[in-house]
Amino acid sequence: MRRLVIITAGLLALLYAGDYLAVRYRILKNRDPYGVVKVRTYYVVPQKNGKPEFYFLQPEDQTCVRSLFPHLGYKPCWYLRRKSQNPIDM
């Protein structure tokens, strides 16, 4: 069991390192590794009758990186596309 955990951790570390090197390679070769996703933030305010009221803010462009994992302080584009709605409960 211990051996399996070590092998799995090693494979994940190699995958992360390869993903990072791919992003750095794209930067080095002047290929754009970044993308932009529109993120919509809104407030969910409960009313006295129990129903929520929604207040939508202007959609914002958020920079992301085209990779499997977050790198260079940016979230992956595939993750931001799935989480493009950002509700804030009040």
- Per-residue model confidence as pLDDT tens digits over 39-62: 999 999 999 998 999 999 999 999
Give the integer Cα–Cα distance in Å for 34 and 39. 16
Give the integer Cα–Cα distance in Å for 64 and 84. 12
Q: Look-up: residue for tokens 């596309």?
A: 81
User: Is the pLDDT confidence value at 68 over 90?
Assistant: yes
Residue pair 76/68 in contact (Cβ under 8 Å)? The answer is yes
25: helix, coil or strand? helix
The stretch 61-74 carries a mean pLDDT of 94
